[in-house]
Amino acid sequence: MKKQFFGIVAALTVLLATPTMAEIKIGASLPLTGGFSIAGSKHEQGYQLCVDLINEKGGIMGEKVNLIMSDNRSDPATAINQYERFINVDQVDAVFGTFSSRLSFPVANILEKNGFVHPLPAGGALRIYTQGHQKVFYFQPSAAEYVGATLQGILEDLVPADDKPATAAVVAADDFFANAVEAGLLGMEVMDPADGSVVEDLAPGFLVDAGVEIVYSEKWPEEGFNDWLTLANSIKRSGAELIVGLTASAEEAVQITRALKTVQADPKMVYFSQGTQSEYLEGTGESSNSVLVHTSWHPAVPFQGLLAGESFSNQDFVKAFESAYGQAPDEDSAIPFAVCQGIEQAIIGAGSTGNDAMSDWLKARTLDDPVRTILGRFAWDERGLPKDKPFLMSQWNDGELQFVYPTDEFEGVQSMTYPKQGF
Amino acid sequence: MILLIQTLILGIALGGVYALMGSGLSLIFGVMRIVNLAHPSLIMIGAYVAYWPFRLSNIEPMFMLPVAAIILACIGAILYRFVFEREARSAKYSEMTVLLTFALAMVVEGMLGTAFTNTQRITSPNYATEAFFLADIFIPKGQLYASIISIIIISALALFLKYSRLGYAIRATTENREAAELLGVNVNRVGLISFAIGLALAGAAGALVSFIFSFFPSKHWEWIVILMSLVVLGGMGSILGTVIGAFLLSAVAALVGTYFGATWSTLTFFIALFVVLLVRPQGLFGEKPELA
């Protein structure tokens, strides 16, 4: 017994005396189960691939990256707890943000309180950036409230003036992100939830600006909604020529597309806020033809980023992703990959994992000296929103997600199909 | 008027699918007093059984319905034998099964997530996005076919329960477990068969659901409230009540969605659950709970 005791003590002494490998700990809480699990799982792949590639190239400044990921079950309270645990128990050096505005909004307060840089892969609602937080950096084009500017641009630049849709039906998930896009399209006031003050008045809204009359608008609840045919029937009966579906997930985009096909709706133009994913094509088939979906990323866009101090293009990412996971990536994996690139560059640029130094370095980025990612260049305004960063508009045609707008920034832009020929 | 008729048709068509989804839950509660919170997650297995043959070989999802039913029945028999049978005589059995089936739902979700990822799935036979048009009214083919099949399956179950020897035993056990046992009914065997039948219904429902709703492993949490509310409205344990509850609630939800907005349609199920529990806890066709 005595012998065993001394044996254990000796083993523990050896273990404790062994020098630990230097590493950079990064925490990420993601919705791997629950309502956001589809996007959350893809975010996990994006973060993991980026960290694996960095570690393969020797880590950041010679230190391996140890990525700690937890499943927050799509629950805001769990996400908050997990970030607190990363900071106080795991003692991480940095964090990657979570998915969705609903989860990012409360998490932003915790990270701000603890002085952590908060790089957001998905959290487009303007309210996140108007709370006065100093270390928030959004890694997608603009805030959701401005998504409609791209749709307005298409109506003005790509649609023949004499055949423009005159009326629109705007249907939206009752979701943080979808509500924000809706606010921009319909020209609503954005309120600060803390004191009810008006953060921004978006009147008259992008659709009115584009000369489109709203003839029907409706919301569906965030979870548990199954009555898509009734909703599609109401849209059809409104006679709207433009259908705007502010879907919060590819699943909703599938359901509403199938329902619109069933009721034989026949609009000139259809735009969804989610639906670039391969699951959308699988669930809708030919009905997806001519459907427009805004996106932050497209495989054909020739963005040049940096990884481990070396040039790393968007096409390098596609190749590495296909090699690692045996399937093509979509924006839900590309965006977190860009977040990881941004944090890597911030650590290298700051020369340390100090969050104040990283934040200062990120804030000092300009359009001429930006963070370079597979989503393009990033420099942020004082709110943490990217400067001069419009959304891309993509369109499904013959099973291919084509990149159609803007037309003058990159090669590879294809002509937009208009009008839509039924579902 | 057309809008009213159209809305009722859509609600009733969806109700047929809900009826089959809920009837297995009701049967299991009726016979075994098991509040099976894992029922929707087991429906999900049936949906995957229909999905993969469709995806890989374009096999019609409805052809997979018997296969899904048999697979789930086998799973049901195994689950009952090794998980639910052991404490069946406990006075707190129903309460225990709530926790047990909650855990089971989590396990099934985890296993499905590991096996098939969290990616959403749906089968797309042509009829799933087609409709019969009668002037300004349309009837969605997918929901119509699913409802007809649901009604056939539930009718067959009702006939089986009413006229077969085993059906007598199941009904006797549902009404009074102790008395049935005293009269020579092997209640454990009846429990096992009922559980297997209940899960076979879940498997069949899963095959039908596969072309109506998108599904992914954690989707079952959204379905449990809907199923519980229609089963409670009809009366826990009453299959007829579940069917009527499904058609009623689905039609009311569609009407609410059309006339008050889609946001309120889902709330219909929650409100129904609360109101029934407050006003008539035994539901439309359930037995009045005995006072201790």
Residues A95 and A131 occupy one common structural domain:
yes
Long-range contact list for A257-260, CB < 8 A, 24+ apart? A257/A283, A257/A284, A257/A287, A257/A288, A257/A291, A257/A423, A258/A228, A258/A283, A258/A284, A258/A287, A258/B122, A258/B124, A258/B128, A258/B129, A259/A228, A259/A229, A259/A231, A259/A232, A260/A232, A260/A235, A260/A236, A260/A287, A260/A423
Picking from B118, B226, B258, the nearest residue to A230 by CB comes out as B258
Summarize the confidence of residues A221-250 as an average pLDDT: 91
Could you give the C-alpha distances from A314 to A234, A276, A413, B58, in angstroms and in order?
41, 17, 16, 35
Residues A398 and A253 occupy one common structural domain:
yes
Residues A173 and A261 occupy one common structural domain:
yes
Locus of tokens 């230097």:
A22
CB contact under 8 A, A221 and B138: no
Residues A275 and A256 occupy one common structural domain:
yes
**Chain B residues with beta carbon closer than 8 angstroms to that of A251:** 120, 214, 216
- Identify whether the C-beta of residue B71 lies closer than 8 Å to the C-beta of residue B45: yes
The pLDDT of residue A44: 97
CB contact under 8 A, A230 and B142: no
Q: Between residues A287 and A221, which one has the greater pLDDT?
A: A287
**Chain A residues with beta carbon closer than 8 angstroms to that of B263:** 174, 219-221
| pLDDT at B84 exceeding the cut of 70 | yes
The structural domain count of chain A equals: 2
CB contact under 8 A, B7 and A33: no
Q: Which CATH number goes with the domain that contains A307?
A: 3.40.50.2300
Give the residue extent of every domain in chain B. 16-218
* Reported confidence tier of residue A5, pLDDT bands at 50, 70, 90: low
Residue B118's closest chain A neighbor by CA?
A38
The pLDDT of residue A7: 56
Question: Where in the sequence is the domain holding A127, given as residue range(s)?
Answer: 23-141+300-378
| pLDDT at A2 exceeding the cut of 70 | no
The pLDDT of residue A320: 97
- Identify whether the C-beta of residue A363 lies closer than 8 Å to the C-beta of residue A380: yes
Locus of tokens 């899960």:
B199
Pairing of strands A23-30, A94-96: parallel
Residues A43 and A76 occupy one common structural domain:
yes
ipTM of the complex: 0.88
Summarize the confidence of residues B107-122 as an average pLDDT: 91
- Identify whether the C-beta of residue B229 lies closer than 8 Å to the C-beta of residue B277: no
The pLDDT of residue A407: 83
**Contacts (Cβ under 8 Å, ≥6 apart) of B135:** none
Q: Would A386 be classed as within a structural domain?
A: no
- Identify whether the C-beta of residue B153 lies closer than 8 Å to the C-beta of residue B66: no
| pLDDT at A28 exceeding the cut of 90 | yes
Residues A176 and A284 occupy one common structural domain:
yes
Locus of tokens 């000296």:
A369
Locus of tokens 């229609």:
B230
| pLDDT at A9 exceeding the cut of 60 | no
**Chain A residues with beta carbon closer than 8 angstroms to that of B124:** 258, 282-285
Picking from B7, B138, B225, the nearest residue to A224 by CB comes out as B225
Polymer length of chain A: 423
CB contact under 8 A, A221 and B129: no
Summarize the confidence of residues B53-71 as an average pLDDT: 96
Whether omega for the bond prior to residue A31 falls within 30 degrees of 0, making it cis, is no
Picking from A74, A258, A263, the nearest residue to B138 by CB comes out as A263
CB of A34 less than 8 A from some CB of B: yes
Mean pLDDT over the full length of chain A: 90
Mean pLDDT over the full length of chain B: 90
| pLDDT at A367 exceeding the cut of 80 | yes
* Reported confidence tier of residue B180, pLDDT bands at 50, 70, 90: confident
The pLDDT of residue A17: 47
**Contacts (Cβ under 8 Å, ≥6 apart) of B34:** B28, B84, B93, B94, B97, B101, B195
Residues A277 and A319 occupy one common structural domain:
no
**Contacts (Cβ under 8 Å, ≥6 apart) of B280:** none
Residues A253 and A312 occupy one common structural domain:
no
Residues A287 and A158 occupy one common structural domain:
yes
Tens-place pLDDT, residues A150-171: 999 999 999 999 999 999 999 9
The pLDDT of residue A10: 54
d(CA A251, CA B154): 30
Locate B33 and state its tokens.
């007093």
| pLDDT at B201 exceeding the cut of 90 | yes
The pLDDT of residue A16: 47
Residue A208, judged by CB atoms within 10 A of its CB (0-12, 13-18, 19+), counts as middle
d(CA B63, CA B53): 10
**SS3 state at B115:** helix
Across A33-42, A60-69, A341-350, least confident range: A33-42
The pLDDT of residue A143: 80
Residues A198 and A125 occupy one common structural domain:
no
| pLDDT at A38 exceeding the cut of 50 | yes
d(CA A93, CA A24): 6
Tens-place pLDDT, residues A239-290: 999 999 999 888 999 999 999 999 999 999 999 998 998 889 999 999 999 9
Nearest to A287, CA basis, from A300, A270, A303, A273: A270
Buried b (16+ CB within 10 A) or exposed e, B81-98: eebbeeebeeeebeebbe
Locus of tokens 């409360």:
A106
CB contact under 8 A, A283 and B214: yes
Polymer length of chain B: 292
* Reported confidence tier of residue A372, pLDDT bands at 50, 70, 90: very high
Q: Provide, rounded to the nearest whole percent, the portion of chain A with pLDDT above 70.
A: 95
d(CA A79, CA A74): 8
Locus of tokens 């009809």:
B234
Locate B138 and state its tokens.
């349309």
Residues A288 and A210 occupy one common structural domain:
yes
Q: Angle CA(B117)–CA(B120)–CA(B124) in degrees, nearest 5?
A: 130
Q: Would A5 be classed as within a structural domain?
A: no
**Chain B residues with beta carbon closer than 8 angstroms to that of A261:** 129
Q: Which sign does the torsion angle of CA A317, A318, A323, A329 carry?
A: positive
* Reported confidence tier of residue B145, pLDDT bands at 50, 70, 90: very high
* Reported confidence tier of residue B195, pLDDT bands at 50, 70, 90: very high
CB of A329 less than 8 A from some CB of B: no
Picking from B122, B218, B262, the nearest residue to A34 by CB comes out as B218
Residues A284 and A328 occupy one common structural domain:
no
Q: Provide, rounded to the nearest whole percent, the portion of chain B with pLDDT above 90.
A: 59
Tens-place pLDDT, residues A80-121: 999 999 999 999 999 999 999 889 999 999 999 999 999 999
**SS3 state at A74:** coil
Tens-place pLDDT, residues A381-419: 999 999 988 888 999 999 999 999 988 777 778 999 999
